[in-house]
Amino acid sequence: MSYLGYPDFFEPYIKRVEQTRPARVEMRRKGKEFPLMSLEERQEILKYHPDYKEEGKREIKVGPCKGYRIAHEFVDLLEAKSRVDPDKVDLTRVDYETDVLVIGGGGAATIAALIAEENDAQVLIATKLRHGDANTMMAEGGIQAATKGEKDSPYYHYLDVMGGGHFKNDPDIVAAFVKKAPDALRWLEDLGVMFSRSPDGRLEAMHGGGTCRKRMHYCADLSGMEIMRTVRDEARNRQNIKVLEFSPAVELILNEHGRCAGALLYNLETEEYSIARARAVVLATGGAGRLHVQGFMTTNHYGATADGVVMGYRAGIPLAFMHTVQYHPTGVVSPEQIEGWLVTERFRAEGADVVNIHGEKFVNEREPRDVESARFIKECLDGNGVPTPTGKVGVWLDSPVIDILVGKGRVRTAFVGKWKVYDRLGIDISRAPMLVYPTLHYQNGGLGNNVECETAVPGLYVAGEVTGGLHGENRLMGNSLMDLVVFGRIAGRNAAVFAREKAKEGQLTLDHVRRYHKELEEAGIVTDGVAPMLLPDYTSPEVRKRQLTVSYLGTLR
């Protein structure tokens, strides 16, 4: 038996939501919203955010940011050894030669490859899974740019980005970002990205959490997918872009002049390592959701395991803003089949209410993500969360309000992706609410870089989620897609120019890995762990207990 597709268990809870719905709709119609928090109130609520749980972190004992407190899951990887013994790698046997090596296959990587190629570089993309397997593909909500001059400008975009990031963001990077965002959107238009727009061509736009103007542009609720598949299609047309799939980089390779000169690649299927030599490298490996920081469920892609942070840190690049991790407020709690899945913030931007077990609103739907998440967690700790039959807890996202406010069928058309996912499970989200709880979503910080995407290692450029600085301590919705377009383009151009004008040939070396191993040893870290981790392991503990092979022999592992 079920009520609106949910197990009977939920019936009384859903009915509470239905009872309070007409009054809430009335409020919305009058333009009344739940009050937004002041900066001081936000600070109070953030104490409930997982980032503020000190026991979730520890000091890292080695590397350029020795003493920095970040999540255990990151430290574990940064205090692990290389997957290879540097002494066994023959760096004189080069397998691939290229001008620009791009590590990663998501949005930032692909866009960097396109622009590098346009700047006359031969490009090699080396990526862990398939080209396009990345968090970019999964981004639903949209992409921010101040494009409507009659009410918005880079000034407001700048303030919103800074406010969302607790005013800790790198001002130079933010300024460049808001200034270049509109042109990045125009570039995507040129490539044929199908933005949602009115018949006269005007781009549709809406609010995201923490925006003061509606500047979130979108492609229905499949914005990232539409952008990713379009740039990937274009990359496939370019003769000078080659792609190696299922070949993640596991170490950066430097040369005797201290410049980045390639990477050690690992063929996931044949388990061979190979050497790619390049005149410049773009590192764009994305985020880290699959580390399940503090045991949280995640919205991230299977391959989001912080590989770039590990490789870059070993090569001497300091970390920036790695002490914060983004939890998206609305991850699915139930049904179980889709636990952890993202429900785009656009539902809230369009008018879906967030309500507790009593069907009451307790927070404005448009607070920055960290504040919104922390408030959800507090509401559940206070005993006002909705329980599930399996002992979890969440709050309701009342999507049917949108159909009442905007018009029947709006949920079905504007959120076609999510509507279908629920529909397959027998739930019509234009009639029933969704049960949600914060889910691990984004790596706010990463490798330190400047406005030109340069790092502490000459010849190594970074772009996208692997970087830190733009978003400060908390990213706003719609700024990650724009991040990867703006800085993917900059990284691609600068890498091509470096390859052509500044690169200096020299002997390849992995000495930085040897040094890092030595540092681990001196810090007294005894470990058999290796990193990057590449893929998570979801084998059940029972099966693992029976995997008794002492050492690998032949093809049997």
Catalytic sites, residue numbers? 328, 348
Rounded least distance, CB 262 to another protein, Å: 24
DSSP string, 99-132: EEEEE--SHHHHHHHHHHHHTT--EEEE-SSSTT
Site string for another protein, 123-152 (x = CB under 8 A): ------xx-xx---xx-------xxxxxxx
Out of 45, 126, 220, 481, the residue judged to bind another protein by CB under 8 A: 220
Interaction with another protein in 410-429: which residues (CB under 8 A)?
A: 416-417, 420-421, 424
Q: Kindly tell me which of 163 and 448 has the beta carbon lying closer to another protein.
A: 163
Binding mask 337-376 for another protein (x = CB under 8 A): xxx-xx------x-x--------------x----------
Q: Which of 97, 189, 360, 519 binds another protein (CB under 8 A)?
A: 189
Cα 363 to Cα 372: distance, rounded to the nearest angstrom: 7
Distance in Å, CB of 498 to another protein, minimum: 25
* Beta pairing, strands 216-217 & 241-244: unpaired
Q: Which of 33, 44, 59, 511 binds another protein (CB under 8 A)?
A: 33
CB 285 within 8 A of CB 31: no
Q: How far is the CB of 181 from another protein (least distance, A)?
A: 9
Q: Which of 35, 524, 537, 552 binds another protein (CB under 8 A)?
A: 537
In this complex, which beta carbon is closest to another protein, that of residue 174 or of residue 460? 174
- Looking at the Cβ atoms of 279 and 441, the one nearer to another protein is 441
Of the ranges 91-99, 154-162, 371-379, 495-503, which one interacts with another protein (CB under 8 A)?
154-162
Q: Where are the alpha helices (DSSP H) in 119-209?
A: 135-138, 154-164, 171-191
Provide the Cα torsion 488, 489, 490, 491; round to 10°. 50
Degrees to nearest 5, angle at CA 529 with 523 and 531 = 95
Q: Least distance (Å) from another protein to the CB of residue 501?
A: 25
Non-local (6+) Cβ contacts of 329 within 8 A are 209, 345, 369, 372, 373, 376, 436, 438
| Residue 535 binds to another protein (criterion: CB under 8 A) | yes
Question: What number of other Cβ atoms are within 10 A of residue 219's Cβ?
Answer: 21
Q: 505 to 534, contacts with another protein by CB under 8 A?
A: 526-529, 531, 533
DSSP alpha helix (H) spans, 318-399: 346-349, 369-381
The two beta strands, 460-462 and 273-283, are parallel
The answer to whether 77 contacts another protein (rule: CB under 8 A) is yes
Burial grade of 239 (CB within 10 A; 0-12, 13-18, 19 or more) = exposed
Residue whose tokens read 């407001």: 156
CB under 8 Å to 546, separation ≥6 — which residues? none
Q: Which region among 253-261, 373-381, 503-511, 536-544 touches another protein (by CB under 8 A)?
A: 536-544
How many chain residues touch another protein (CB under 8 A)?
116
